[in-house]
Amino acid sequence: METKGLANIRGTARDDIKAHFVFIPLMLQGHLIPAVDTALLLASHGALTSIVVTPSYTERVHRTIDFAKKSGLPLRLMEFPLDLAAEGLPDGADDVDKVPPHLIANYFRALANLREPLERHLRSDEPYPTCVVADICHPWVKELAAKLEVPRLSFSGTCAFSLLCQHNVERFNAYDGIADDHELVVVPGLEKKFELSRAQSLLFFRLMPGFEKFTDELEQAVVKADGLLARRMKVWTVGPVSLFHQSTTTLSLRGNTAAIGADVCQHWLDGKVANSVVYVSFGSIQYVEPKQVVELGLGLEASGHPFIWVVKNADLLGEEVKEFLRELQTRVAGRGLLIMGWAPQVLILSHAAVGSFVTHCGWNSTMEAIAAGLPVVAWPHFSEQFLNAKLAVEVLGIGVDVGVTEPVMLRYDQKVIVIPREMVEKAVRSIMDRGDEGEERRRRARALAAKARAAVVEGGSSHANLQDLVNHFQRSPARGAAA
């Protein structure tokens, strides 16, 4: 276990630490990255932030943390290994990307087993925590915080709109009597009509065999939290957290161990006309079916627009698809750039050459698009991504819908959903359109970007919420308990 004492943090005296937040993120890139960004922001407001990670994820974030600490921010990593064997997990399954799908429930149990060693460490460590911030998918932290006698916040990486929709369908029992998980119901209590199926909602965990008890515990943990970081509790909205990063160096390090690929992307984009490039990425955990990979590639090629396409888990796609990708790279050389694996997403989105974003509508990606002032092609894959897509297309008016109506992954019926190349081409041409409709989307996107940046600077709403959060959980003279 690695922890860095306060003597290594800008010579900070313990009495100067306003509060001590212990972050326990879910070890998935889409959850870990915004949690780390939020920890960085709290540290910039004078709070010590300790981030609990497992060894594989230490490698992914330590360069970002080290860089921030050198600039004087009070941060540290707490590394705890998982007992993989105890839950029947193979070696290397500390990295969730290496967990076999049928053992994912075992992985969540292994994470829950961190409670006792983490409690022992936090009792003996200084300064004592004033608040525990746990990912919404860690219901076991409820007991940890109770035993430590400190407040607990739920960290939600999604937006207020999706949380409101989810709350309303549960409050008004909108799914009562609905047997088909893919049947759409109207979300009650909203002025505008929005439809949502059970499979498109945050309840998707309930549809996964073996996760029924976990879902019950998750919902109870959220209801009984002392606040929500993102119902009848105080909510702190602190985004867009990605705007903490204002330099090429920190942007290229974000979410990865090194700036591999950043220079290549920068150089390639430098040679392109402003607002001409389509960026395509479906996040860190989305699995794209081999047939969909081919249709997506052909649709991008047919669109005629320059593009950067991030292809995740190419090694799992089979030799036929890998050969297709190699041939596509040859055909679109100079116009298309394929990146296999990780890409410095925020760095790419902030480049002047990028004109739109084809996205799965995870909230991280949606916010990063908004912060960059870019319109989006909405291609949700599962869960609240459908709500985020509705928000982008139907509420904010900054996107076009690719045409997905059902989850394309984590389906218990194994049905394969494929968007054909013609629909991909049409969506890309639409989002890059220079007519009145396309220009209006871009105008709205730029206006939202200005609002996002205003929120995080001094005097902005997010900046004020962060300071209020630190003040709310500041240290008291007695053992550092929250005031």
Active site positions, annotated: 31, 135
Q: Token pair of 211, please?
A: 């996760």
Find out whether 174 and 185 touch, Cβ atoms under 8 Å. Answer: yes
Find out whether 222 and 409 touch, Cβ atoms under 8 Å. Answer: no
**300 burial via Cβ count (<10 Å: 0-12, 13-18, 19+):** buried
In 294-435 the beta strands, taken as DSSP E runs, fall at: 307-311, 336-340, 354-359, 376-378, 399-401
Instruction: Give the span between the Cα atoms of 459 and 434, in whole angstroms.
Output: 36
Dihedral sign for Cα atoms in the order 122, 138, 25, 152: negative
Q: Token pair of 359, please?
A: 């996205």
Name the amino acid, one letter, at 211: F
**39 burial via Cβ count (<10 Å: 0-12, 13-18, 19+):** buried
Find out whether 63 and 56 touch, Cβ atoms under 8 Å. Answer: no
Residue 149: count of CB within 10 angstroms of its CB: 11
| DSSP string across 169-212 | HHHTTTTTT---TT--EEPTT-SS--EE-GGGSGGGGGGSTT-H
Q: How many residues does the chain have?
A: 483
